Amino acid sequence: MIREVVVHVKLGSVKRSIENFGANRYLIKTDLVNHAEVNKDVIFMLSKYMGLPENRFSLIKGEEKEDKVFSIS
C-alpha cells in the first residue's frame, strides 16, 4: 500500500514539533534551515511519529520548498 503525506515545514523554529491536521497533512517545525538536512529531519520525525522505518518514506515533490509531498510504501 502506497499513500502520500503532505507536509508544510517551518524552517528555523526554536522548538521542533509535528502536528497532524488530518487527511495525511502535517505541520513540522524544525530548527534546521538547509533543505537537504531539513528533508532528512522531516523523514526522521515522520518515521518516529508514525512508528515506521525511515526507508519507507520517499520525497516526491518539494525538495527545496516548504511544502513537501512524501510517499509511504
Which CATH code is given to the segment(s) 3-72? 3.30.1200.10
Average predicted confidence (pLDDT) for the chain: 94
Nearest one of 16, 52, 30, 17 to 70, comparing CA atoms: 52
Q: What percent of the chain has pLDDT over 90?
A: 90
d(CA 6, CA 27): 9
Q: What is the DSSP letter of 15?
A: S
For the chain, the structural domain boundaries read 3-72
Total-model pTM = 0.92
d(CA 3, CA 47): 14
